[in-house]
């Protein structure tokens, strides 16, 4: 009898262990997950509250451009790559309406958006033959926008037409040849977004002013080529975008 009891206990032991490790009878092991996977919720992209299609901003920029250099496009124009003896310093004051024409798109290294700028500018000339230059400019800027960054690099190019109090017709050597002149600006910097409404930016810009040889041959077209730092402030116009996308 003792032997029969021992055999019964040995046969019952594996069944008892199995009841601790195996699913209950009637459960389908193919449909029961062994472990539960908890996915961390994705943090909303704050940059989409700042950069989105058809957003309008008012922008004011102030530059100080004291460094005289040759015309940067000389390599394409087959002209003299030189600086003139008459040195200039330009201080542009630029008020703009910025229009973000698209939303954030593109691969990770080019992810960003584009905006157009319609600007009126007044440039003081504390050093040089002339004293002031007023112009209307149009610009295109590309913002490079990594996800959730608050410091956004940008590159832009602008062009325009304006009026300068030219001194070349008065016989001043190396001065500007006529009042009607054209502007070309190329710049880059970083925009710092405090929140979806306000931002500050700092960078460097190159500015070219000349009359595209319209004054020649009567008066030589020397032009102005300077670069230096520029700072700006932007504020959103209108209501905020309703929600992040």
Which pTM value belongs to this model?
A: 0.79
Number of independent structural domains in the chain: 1
Q: Which pLDDT value is given to residue 109? A: 80
Q: Using CA atoms, how far apart are residues 53 and 241, in angstroms rounded to an integer? A: 10
Can the peptide bond before residue 217 be classed as cis, meaning omega within 30 degrees of 0?
Answer: yes
In this structure, what CATH number is given to the domain that contains residue 233?
A: 2.40.160.20
pLDDT, average across residues 184-193:
97
Q: Which residue has the tokens 């009126």?
A: 120
Domain range enclosing 108: 54-237
Q: Which pLDDT value is given to residue 192? A: 97
Q: Which pLDDT value is given to residue 25? A: 45
pLDDT at 21 over 50: no
Mean pLDDT of all residues belonging to the chain: 86
Q: Where are the alpha helices (DSSP H) in 39-138?
A: 74-77
22 occurs within a structural domain: no
153 occurs within a structural domain: yes
Q: Is 140 helix (H, G, I), strand (E, B) or coil?
A: strand
17 occurs within a structural domain: no
- Going by pLDDT thresholds of 50, 70 and 90, the confidence category of residue 93 is very high
143 occurs within a structural domain: yes
Burial class of residue 120 in the structure, from the number of CB atoms within 10 Å of its CB (0-12 exposed, 13-18 middle, 19+ buried): middle
Cβ distance 215 to 238 under 8 Å? no
Q: Under the phi-then-psi rule, with left for phi > 0, alpha for psi from -120 to 50, and beta for the rest, what region is 179?
A: alpha
Q: Nearest Cα to 185, choosing from 166, 200, 204?
A: 204
195 occurs within a structural domain: yes
Measured in degrees and rounded to the nearest 5, phi and psi for residue 173 equal: -70, 140
Q: Which residue has the tokens 């290294």?
A: 109
Q: Nearest Cα to 135, choosing from 120, 150, 125?
A: 120
160 occurs within a structural domain: yes
19 occurs within a structural domain: no
Q: Which pLDDT value is given to residue 107? A: 87
21 occurs within a structural domain: no
């Amino acid at each position: 009898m003792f032997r029969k009891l021992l055999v019964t206990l040995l046969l019952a032991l594996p069944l008892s262990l199995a009841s601790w490790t195996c699913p209950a009878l009637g459960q389908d092991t193919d449909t029961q997950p062994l472990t539960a996977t908890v996915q961390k919720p994705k943090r909303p992209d704050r940059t989409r509250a700042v950069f989105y299609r058809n957003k309008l901003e008012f922008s004011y920029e102030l530059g100080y451009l004291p460094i005289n250099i040759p015309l940067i496009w000389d390599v394409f124009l087959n002209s003299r790559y030189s600086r003139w003896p008459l040195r200039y310093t330009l201080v542009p004051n630029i008020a703009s309406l910025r229009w973000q024409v698209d939303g954030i798109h593109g691969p990770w290294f080019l992810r960003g958006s584009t905006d157009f700028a319609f600007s009126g500018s007044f440039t003081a000339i504390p050093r040089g033959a002339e004293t002031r230059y007023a112009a209307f400019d149009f610009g295109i800027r590309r913002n490079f926008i990594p996800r959730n960054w608050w410091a956004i690099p940008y590159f832009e190019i602008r062009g325009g037409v304006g009026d300068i109090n030219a001194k070349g017709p008065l016989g001043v050597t190396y001065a500007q040849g006529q009042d009607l002149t054209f502007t070309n600006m190329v710049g880059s910097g970083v925009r710092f977004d405090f929140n979806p409404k306000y931002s500050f930016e700092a960078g460097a810009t190159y500015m070219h002013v000349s009359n595209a040889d319209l004054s020649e041959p009567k008066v030589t077209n020397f032009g102005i080529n300077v670069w230096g730092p520029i700072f700006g402030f932007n504020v959103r116009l209108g209501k905020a975008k309703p929600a992040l996308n």
